[in-house]
Amino acid sequence: MAQPLVVKKDDDMDEEEYYSPFLGIEKGAVLQEARVFNDPQLDARRCCQVITKLLYLLNQGDTFTKVEATEVFFATTKLFQSKDAGLRRMVYLMIKELSPSADEVIIVTSSLMKDMNSKTDMYRANAIRVLCRIIDSTLLTQIERYLKQAIVDKNPVVASAALVSGIYLLQTSPEVVKRWSNEVQEAVQSRAALVQFHALALLHQIRQNDRLAVSKLVSSLTRGSVRSPLAQCLLIRYTSQVIRESGMNTQGGDRPFFDFLESCLRNKAEMVILEAARAITDLNGVTSRELTPAITVLQLFLSSSKPVLRFAAVRTLNKVASTHPLAVTNCNIDMESLISDQNRSIATLAITTLLKTGNESSVDRLMKQMTNFMSDIADEFKIVVVEAIRSLCLKFPLKYRSLMNFLSNILREEGGFDYKKAIVDSIIILIRDIPDAKESGLFHLCEFIEDCEFTYLSTQILHFLGNEGPKTSDPSKYIRYIYNRVILENATVRASAVSTLAKFGALVDALKPRIFVLLRRCLFDGDDEVRDRATLYIKLLDGEATVGETEKDVTDFLFGSLDVPLVNLEASLRNYEPSEVPFDISSVPKETKSQPLAEKKAAGKKSTGPASAVNGPVPTIDASYEKLLSSIPEFASFGKLFKSSAPVELTEAETEYSVNVVKHIYDGHVVLQYNCTNTIPEQLLEEVVVFVDASEADEFSEVASKPLRSLPYDSPGQTFVAFEKPEGVLATGKFSNILKFIVKEVDSSTGEAEDDGVEDEYQLEDFEIISADYMLKVGVSNFRNAWESMDAETERIDEYGLGVRESLAEAVSAVISILGMQPCEGTDIVQNNSRSHTCLLSGVFIGNVKVLVRLSFGISGPKEVAMKLAVRSDDPEVSDRIHEIVANG
């Protein structure tokens, strides 16, 4: 039963409350009431009430059984006898909601077609809507002539009904609707605002797959034939879409589409002005000069008496401030007045925009205004403000004290987990990126952890404190806060606090005796994990247990970040079979791979290759491949497998043979694994082998191949070809492939294959071995720390011109693809209309050489992208090679 709708009456009614008329209704009782539809003398008012209840039940999620729906439907059709206009409208709604089956539609079609030709326009419009909703394609052709006439009907209600029905039918019967183009084109010229709006929407949908036709449509309509504000908003959207798709330069001399958008800024209708301003600000590569007219009209709306206009304007300006902050600074005074706006959404957008556009001198003033503001908004808005404050602090690092104090104050206030996590994450980022903020930031986190109610945040802070605390001028002041967690917290936090204490003891010799005392106290803890950690760390710090040969090995064990993905480690541990041979963490794959053949699986195509490689858990792919390859004598001497690529499809979907290739990279060899599937039930393939032409890959020489003896229907198999390549050389090239085999016919009744076969071959697609194949995608948890820990002598910096690009996002994606490295900290995402961007990448180059890359992108001219590339690695020669890859890419 639905919850009662409580409605409060006016104040002069003693603030009484009354309940919804639908309170307590039950489906069974309403179905009994529906019998009034069968009365000889219909009571129109009562019938309307019963239909209202039925519609309420349907909209609340109640379902009718097939029998119940059929009974209600047939009873409803009897109400066509009534001449009451209100009841007739309710009947239309009921039939549409019941969605009758094909057999039942025939019963009501004649009544609806009669209404469609009625002299009453209300009947005609509603009958068209209902008919088009329930009719199938076979019956649609019978009423097509009426629908085409209705589109150009003089009554706008009828014409709009036909056009909206056309939009719906375009999904189910597109070929029929496309024949209405002439009538729809005529309706676009209608003087009725709603007809013009619906006609334009339908005409665009009819032509949306033909870019030239859409461009011509927009070009013809931008000359002034569209008068309806709603239709003009649609036209603005279509115009900006044409500009984006055609890649037109808005800075050229002849730019009719952009001029149309600018002219709409002077329209009388507010919705048109807002739509045009939003479209201009969303264009790629728009300049500050081109933004000025749009910013000007948005500034005027900031002082509007209508909340919806203020909200729309400040939201658009907030988005512009991310990419063109200087263009929005003229609006700062108007936005400061919105901080006290009664609408908290408007106030939040105003304050975050000011934080993006403000200068260093305005920071303190903004902080004072925000102190009272934060207590009045919901957590979701607070998170937006916190993220804006973090960006402002990184922009003006000298103001870290006031901003850090503000974050610390709101951290101690009440709030949910997501809100608190956003603040903690912000403080951690500021500590990492602003060295002067470390001491105060760590102290604020220690204060917060004393009263923190969230286990996750407590462990996160303790982990970070263990990494950064020992590096401060007075590490001892943090010990009290950490040990308090051992005494007062739950087992998870206590265990994390024990690890943090051990890190202080390992890095700060003066604190080691004190840490020993505290860790020994932990040996009496009631939790196994806490006791085990305390025991391990005491023995490590005392030298009784070893994890390596030097003290540095102990430090690396305590501090070192895990260089394998946790999901891969978990999968490897699950697959480990207990034996005398200990688990070797070096056997865990370092690369996180996407699920191979995902698209083909979605299409229902059978996967090929070893079951563990394709159908099994993604993280165990490398281990599975290595085990498979090491079992083949021809490849056993190749050494340790460095990387296995994702499968590359060499055949189209739904062809008679499915083949993909996996590239296995070794130091001096490359093994090509061809995964084959025979999709023809009447054939058996034998002696399956792939003939590889490496004439366009000069540095590779074929050394071995392993054919597939038999390939029955729908049973995946593998054939291999191995190539030798010079060690230490980044060998690349193109490979052509022909699948050769003996085909034998299979008797479908017995399943037996014929003795004689015929030699046949099948041309496969070409593929390439590229530079990215020699790079593993391995992320780092803290890029800055990893960068600073690498020898600066290995750093190589150079600048490159990437030519004309559609956007910065395209340039970033292209460089990441060329290098084959793992983006860090979400830096592969580029904001719309950004004119500069920094991307951080990490990976392991063949030879197990760790590599870090810092990419700085900028737009130096009209869509001309420039890039600064900085590389650090364990080997300076590898740093040089990364530059060579980019230079040749």
pLDDT in tens, 240-254: 988 888 765 544 445
Q: Which two tokens stand for residue 430?
A: 């500021």
Instruction: Give the other-Cβ count within 10 Å of 170's Cβ.
Output: 18
Buried b (16+ CB within 10 A) or exposed e, 171-198: eebeebbeebeebbeebbebebbbbbbb
- When pLDDT is cut at 50, 70 and 90, the band that residue 623 belongs to is low
| 594: helix, strand or coil | coil
Q: What is the dihedral of CA 619, 625, 627, 633, to 10 degrees?
A: -170
pLDDT of residue 157: 92
State phi, psi for 79 to the nearest 5 degrees: -75, -5
Residue 591 has φ and ψ, to the nearest 5°, of -105, 130
Q: What span, in angstroms and rounded, lies between the C-alpha atoms of 199 and 234? A: 11
68-91: buried (b, 16+ CB within 10 Å) or exposed (e) per residue?
A: ebbbbbebbbebbebebeebbebb
Structure tokens at 16: 């009484």
Residue 823's closest CA among 813, 809, 833, 835?
Answer: 813
C-alpha 868/C-alpha 635 separation (Å) is: 41
Q: Which helix (H) or strand (E) holds 691?
A: strand 683-696
Alpha-carbon distance of 94 to 83, in angstroms, equals: 17
Mean pLDDT (whole number) for 541-568? 64
What single string gives the DSSP state of each residue in 753-805? Answer: BPS--EEEEEE---EEE-GGGGEE----S-HHHHHHHS-GGG-EEEEEEEEE-
* pLDDT at residue 824 in the model: 86
Angle between helices 528-542 and 491-507 (to 10 degrees): 10
Instruction: At 446, list the tokens.
Output: 């220690």
Q: Which of 458, 378, 360 is nearest to 416 (CA)?
A: 378
The 10s digit of each residue's pLDDT in 776-822 is 888 887 787 788 888 888 899 998 888 888 778 888 999 998 998 98
DSSP state of 302: T
Q: pLDDT grade, residue 618 (50/70/90)?
A: very low
pTM of the model: 0.58
Separation CA 467–CA 460 (nearest Å): 11
Check whether 397 has a pLDDT greater than 90.
no
pLDDT digits (tens, 9 = 90+) for 831-848: 766 777 889 999 999 888
pLDDT surpasses 70 at 8: no
What's the gap between Cα 346 and its chain centre?
27
**pLDDT computed for residue 713 by the predictor:** 85
Return contacts of 341-346, CB within 8 angstroms, 24+ apart.
341/307, 341/310, 343/307, 343/310, 343/311, 344/376, 344/377, 344/378, 344/381, 345/311, 345/381, 346/307, 346/310, 346/311, 346/314
Bridge partners of residue 586, in order along the sequence: none
| pLDDT per position as a tens digit, 626-677 | 778 888 888 888 888 888 888 899 988 778 888 999 999 988 899 999 999 8
Model pLDDT, residue 200:
92
Beta partners for residue 852, in sequence order:
842, 872
Per-residue pLDDT of 184-203, as tens digits, reads 999 999 889 999 999 999 99
309: confidence class by pLDDT, cuts 50, 70, 90: very high
Hey, what amino acid is at 325? Answer: P
Residues 323-350 have a mean pLDDT of 85
The number of helices, as runs of H, and strands, as runs of E, in the chain is 38, 19
| Distances from the Cα of 418 to the Cα of 386, 409, 421, 422, 825, angstroms | 11, 17, 5, 6, 18
pLDDT at residue 554, rounded to an integer: 61
* pLDDT exceeds cutoff 50 at 464: yes
Report d(CA 805, CA 815) in Å as an integer: 12
Q: State the Cα–Cα distance between residues 491 and 522, nearest whole angstrom.
A: 11
b/e burial code for range 650-665 (CB count within 10 A of at least 16 → b): bbeeeeebbbbbbbbb
* Residue the block writes with tokens 């960006």: 391
Residue 21 phi/psi, 5° resolution? -65, -15
Closest by Cα among 630, 627, 682, 691 to 659: 691
Q: Which residues contact 360 (CB under 8 A, 6 or more apart)?
A: 396, 398, 399
| 16: pLDDT strictly greater than 60 | no
Closest CA to 424 of 382, 378, 457: 457
The DSSP call for residue 20 is: -
Q: Dig out the tokens for 260 from the structure.
A: 């149309």
pLDDT in tens, 468-492: 888 888 999 999 999 998 888 889 9
How many other CB atoms are found less than 10 A from the CB of residue 612? Answer: 16
CB 657 within 8 A of CB 762: yes
Query: What is the C-alpha to C-alpha distance for residues 236 and 222, in angstroms, rounded to an integer?
Result: 9
What was the pLDDT predicted at 616? 30
At 47 the pLDDT is 92
Nearest to residue 811, comparing CAs of 870, 871, 879, 863? 863
**Nearby residues of 685 by Cβ (< 8 Å), 6 or more positions away:** 676, 678, 710, 711, 712, 741, 742, 743, 744
Query: pLDDT for 745-764, tens place per residue?
Result: 888 777 788 888 889 999 99
Max intra-chain CA distance, the chain: 100
Q: Do residues 462 and 493 make contact, with C-beta atoms less than 8 angstroms apart?
A: yes
Spatial separation of the C-alpha atoms in residues 298 and 292, rounded to whole Å: 10
| Cβ atoms within 10 Å of 95's Cβ, excluding its own | 25
- Judged by average pLDDT, the poorest of 48-57, 291-300, 572-581 is 572-581
Q: What angle do CA 676, 678, 682 make, to 5 degrees?
A: 165
Residue 625 has pLDDT above 90, yes or no: no
* Angle (deg, nearest 10), helices 270-282 and 307-323: 10
- The pLDDT of residue 621 is above 80: no
Q: List Cβ neighbours of 58 (8 Å cut-off, separation of 6 or more).
A: 64, 97
Residue 604's contacts (CB-CB under 8 Å, 6 or more residues apart) are none
pLDDT in tens, 248-277: 554 444 578 888 899 999 999 999 999 999
Residue 546 and residue 557: Cα distance in Å, rounded? 10
Instruction: For CA atoms 205, 209, 210, 216, give the dihedral sign.
Output: positive
Strands 733-745 and 758-763: what pairing?
Answer: antiparallel
Write down the residue that tokens 């063949």 correspond to.
846
What is the amino acid identity at position 690?
V
Report the alpha-carbon distance of residue 319 to residue 831 in Å, rounded: 10
Residue 211: its pLDDT value, please?
Answer: 85
Residue 610 has pLDDT above 60, yes or no: no
